[in-house]
Each structure stands twice: as C-alpha cells, then as structure tokens.
Amino acid sequence: MAEISCDTCANNVYDEEYCDYICAVNMDEDEYCRLMSEGRNTCPYYTKDDDYFLARKQ
C-alpha cells in the first residue's frame, strides 16, 4: 500500500476531540477502504493548502 501524505492538504484539519489532525472530506467507509486498497500515491480529494490562492485570482 502506498503512503499518502496529507500534511500539505487543505482538508487536513485539527480535531480538538481527538487531539490530532483528521481528513475533513466526507467519505463513507467504502470510499475510504477503496482509497486505501487501490495502492495510489495521490489522493483524489487532495487540495493544496494555499492561503494566497484567492488573492492571486484578484
């Protein structure tokens, strides 16, 4: 299984209840299992965490 790095993803948010970072994408269990079992090295839900994205569009 390929390692998927979520450190730079905008969907990687801190959850105070778990005291850890979690993925904020609303996936069901089947989607998550499919994502982990396909052996991908990229995530289809990855969104670059770029604070200045909208500022460059103006």
Note whether residue 22 is domain-resident: yes
Note whether residue 52 is domain-resident: no
Q: Residue 2: its pLDDT value, please?
A: 44
Give the C-alpha separation, 24 to 51, whole Å. 17
Note whether residue 57 is domain-resident: no
Q: Is 30 helix (H, G, I), strand (E, B) or coil?
A: helix
Q: Residue 34: its pLDDT value, please?
A: 87
Note whether residue 54 is domain-resident: no
Note whether residue 10 is domain-resident: yes
pLDDT digits over 1-37, tens only?
Answer: 445 578 888 899 999 999 999 989 998 999 888 888 8
Note whether residue 15 is domain-resident: yes
Note whether residue 58 is domain-resident: no
State the total domains in the chain. 1
Note whether residue 21 is domain-resident: yes
> For the whole prediction, is pTM greater than 0.85?
no
Q: Measured between alpha carbons, how far is residue 20 from residues 13, 37, 52, 58 in Å?
A: 8, 23, 25, 34
Residue ranges making up the domain that contains 43:
1-47
SS3 assignment for the chain: CCCCCCCCECCEEEECCCCEEEECCCCCHHHHHHHHHCCCCCCCCCCECCCCHHHHHC
Q: Residue 21: its pLDDT value, please?
A: 93
